[in-house]
């Protein structure tokens, strides 16, 4: 299982990140200052660090010097929106930089991109009775293959990697088809209806009126 270290001294934000990551299938450890983060990194193995810049004791930029030799990818989290701070973080070796406040879906998407870049994402997902192989692009239920089109597979993967998250139609369209969703378009709804029947998720893939869909697992 992918293990993520969250270093943020704001407990409500830390709790939100932890719950979101756990729902998406990640193991999450939270610490609230730089020294505790260094201790955790020395003691355990992590696949990703979400690192706040403003921390008590040792700040995020200073901690980055400790993390860099460990070859663990870092995404900076901070309320600072100044260009020079973003540039400094990226030049120090961070993979990405997210400014608070942020949407949970954006955070999960950025986490996924960085983990994929480091070849750390789970290649086989087990969600809602399905086995989803991201290498061979195949889906099985109890050993039986479920044939899906390319777009249906991408749609399934989007829901599988964001369980419990309300996905807006606009977001679904952008992530699967690219471009901007046109109000009134039935593309997303029709594909979701077909996907439900094919994978047996009639009760799991829940429609949210005037919003979109959520996978309940």
Query: Kind of pairing, strands 130-133 and 138-141?
Result: antiparallel
pLDDT of residue 73: 95
- The CATH architecture to which 124-215 belongs is Orthogonal Bundle (1.10)
pLDDT of residue 80: 66
pLDDT of residue 41: 93
Token pair 């020395």 is at which residue?
42
Superfamily designation of domain 3-117: Response regulator (3.40.50.2300)
120-153: pLDDT as tens digits: 776 788 899 999 998 888 999 999 999 999 999 9
Which structure tokens are listed for 27? 């193991």
Fold match, 3-117 / 124-215: no
Distance CA 34, CA 40 (A): 10
Q: At what angle do helices 83-91 and 60-67 cross, to 10 degrees?
A: 20
Give the residue extent of every domain in the chain: 3-117, 124-215
pLDDT of residue 82: 66
Number of other residues whose CB lies within 10 A of the CB of residue 26: 20
Residue 131 DSSP one-character state? E
List the chain residues with pLDDT less than 50: none
Which structure tokens are listed for 74? 């870092």
Residue 51 DSSP one-character state? E
DSSP 162-189: STT--EEHHHHHHHHT-SPPPTT--HHH
């Amino acid at each position: 299982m992918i293990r993520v270290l969250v270093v943020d001294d704001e407990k409500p934000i830390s709790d939100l990140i932890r719950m979101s990551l756990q729902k998406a299938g990640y193991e999450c450890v939270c610490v609230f200052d730089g020294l505790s983060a260094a201790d955790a990194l020395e003691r355990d193995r992590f696949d990703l660090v979400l690192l706040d810049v403003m921390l008590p004791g040792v700040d995020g930029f200073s901690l980055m010097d400790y993390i860099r030799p460990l070859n663990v990818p870092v995404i900076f989290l901070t309320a600072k929106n100044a260009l020079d701070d973003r540039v400094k973080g990226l030049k120090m070796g961070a993979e990405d930089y997210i400014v608070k406040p942020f949407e949970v879906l954006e955070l999960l998407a950025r986490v996924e991109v960085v983990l994929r870049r480091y070849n750390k994402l789970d290649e086989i997902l087990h969600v809602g009775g399905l086995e989803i192989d991201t290498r061979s692009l195949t889906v099985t239920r109890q050993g039986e293959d479920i044939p899906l089109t390319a777009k249906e597979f991408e749609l399934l993967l989007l829901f599988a990697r964001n369980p419990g998250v309300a996905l807006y139609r606009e977001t679904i369209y952008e992530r699967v088809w690219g471009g901007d969703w046109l109000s009134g378009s039935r593309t997303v709804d029709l594909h979701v209806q077909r996907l439900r029947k094919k994978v047996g998720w009639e009760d799991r893939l829940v429609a949210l009126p005037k919003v979109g869909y959520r996978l309940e697992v």
